[in-house]
Amino acid sequence: MAINIKRPNGTEDVIPRDAHKWHTVEKVARETAESYGFGEIRTPTFENTDLFLRSVGETTDVVQKEMYTVIAKETKFTLRPEGTAGAIRAMLQNGLLNEALPQRVYYVTSCFRHERPQAGRLREFHQFGVEMAGSPSPAADAEVISLAKKILDRLEIKNIELRVNSIGCPVCRAKYHQALRAYFEARKEELCETCQERLEKNPMRILDCKSPICKEIAKDAPVILDYLCEECSDHFEKFKGYLGKLGISYTVDPKIVRGLDYYTKTVFEFVTTEIGAQGTVCGGGRYDGLIEQLGGQHVPALGFGMGLERLLLVMDKQGSEFLSPKKCDIYFATMGDAALERAMELSSQLREFGYFAEFDLMQRGLKPQMKYANKIGAAFTMVLGDNELTEGKAKLKEMESGEETVVSLDNKFETVFEEIYFNKMMNAMDDGSNPLFAFTGEDK
């Protein structure tokens, strides 16, 4: 009996016909981050559990309900639920913070949370994230948001809104916590069980609760902006001014607290209404105490995470343009062993130049080979048989136009092919219909 094994619930496969969509987002994100001075960092898929307990916060849903943790020989490891903690740990451990500041890193990474799977919310999901360490300036906040917006703009994502808030520093937040406790205490029995526990430990987490009842109760709760100290208030005002200078529109949303405990001062989200409840496609902010929390010196830091699955959902819904999937540049249809060997040689030569060359591996007849070439969208085909090998020449056929060119099969074949191929691309670009040129993410 066949064993029916499927992928785990809450995960997705990316198959070749969809990979070009991922490549589009990743290419644009990487190139844009590098234009802002960010370099790539890669960290382990799992970390010591204590890293997330200390950084993410023991009162968060992530730590209390969603982490995948295993014990190996009495050591606790956790699959990363988010990217910031591991990146900051790596910056500390590898001495990056002893180098010139600010340090800027980016990553494309998988994260894991045990949540109820739904559109835009998976148990294994992928993020593009950036971290900047060293600058306390509100200009750095605006710079990081500018990077996120530039990525979204280059992907031509529409109908997306930037929402910003300040959640203050530990000093002003302590006063705010007192006000929240006083407010929620009066309706404590109506809160969900989790929020009743949060009331003492971290009442701000109640503002982030997904329960409809808790949301309704929190609607009229005090707002943090009324409790900011002078320093935090000044930081927030300057930050908003810098956004204005950059021409970045925003809405102040005093209910944004983000889902992780390490945030301080600026927090922000890019939100769309086009994919239902999971409308936050990018979120981030400042976490000036995190590096100190993890054993380093006091170094201010900030960053964001961008959900790739959610971005792709929005782009699919909006009919966005993606990089074209790589298609076969030339297919050699062969008749006989000698022709097959020559096709192998020619394919090898062309691949050295970066072309996608293919030949028959299924021992098909000539007609089925040509059908296959058409099916895979080969730009050119060439039939090789005894006559072609004897004459040292063959017909190179452009599949779209049907035009044929007789070319020599000598050791300059790749140069001749390159010239013909280049002319095809130039002609197609002139009439705006070139399927070989793809959206690169650069401004048009």
Both 23 and 150 in one domain: the answer is yes
Q: How confident is the model at residue 431 (pLDDT cuts 50, 70, 90)?
A: low
Q: Interhelix angle for 413-430 vs 337-352, to 10°? A: 60
* 300 within some domain: yes
Instruction: Write down the mean pLDDT value for the chain.
Output: 90
Query: What pLDDT, on a 0 to 100 scale, did the predictor assign at position 147?
Result: 98
Range among 200-204, 237-241, 276-280, 292-296 rated most confident: 237-241
Which pLDDT score, from 0 to 100, does residue 429 have?
58
The 10s digit of each residue's pLDDT in 147-202 is 999 999 999 999 999 999 999 998 998 899 899 999 999 898 999 988 888 888 88
pLDDT tens digits, 117-161: 887 789 999 999 999 999 999 999 999 999 999 999 999 999 999
Flag whether 174 is in a domain: no
- Domain assignment present for residue 1? The answer is no
Residue 435, pLDDT score: 38
Q: Domain of 408?
A: 330-430
Tell me, what CATH number does 147's domain have? Answer: 3.30.930.10
User: What whole-number distance in Å separates Cα of residue 416 and Cα of residue 185?
Assistant: 80
310 located within any domain: yes
**Distance (Å, whole) CA 30 – CA 90:** 19
pLDDT of amino acid 59: 57
Of 318, 342, 377, the residue that ends a domain is 318
Q: How confident is the model at residue 423 (pLDDT cuts 50, 70, 90)?
A: confident
Q: Is the domain of 53 the same as that of 136?
A: yes
* Residue at 266 is within a domain: yes
Q: What is the pLDDT of residue 57?
A: 67
Evaluate whether residue 443 is within a structural domain. no
Tell me, yes or no, whether 95 and 234 share the same domain.
yes
Q: Do residues 50 and 107 both lie within one domain?
A: yes
pTM: 0.88
How much is the pLDDT for 275? 77
Q: Cα–Cα distance between 211 and 275 in angstroms, integer?
A: 20
Please choose, from the candidates 269, 387, 415, 100, the residue with its C-alpha nearest in 3D space to the C-alpha of residue 395.
387
Six token digits for residue 266 = 């600026």
Query: Using CA atoms, how far apart are residues 10 and 12, in angstroms rounded to an integer?
Result: 7
Nearest CA-CA partner of 282 in 137, 23, 83, 87: 83
What's the total number of domains in the chain?
2
Q: Residues 361, 308: one domain?
A: no
CATH at residue 344: 3.40.50.800
Question: Quick check: 320 pLDDT over 70?
Answer: yes
Q: Measured over all CA atoms, what is the biggest interatomic distance in the chain, rounded to whole angstroms?
A: 94
Asked if 23 and 138 sit in the same domain, the reply is yes
Assess whether pLDDT exceeds 80 at residue 14: yes
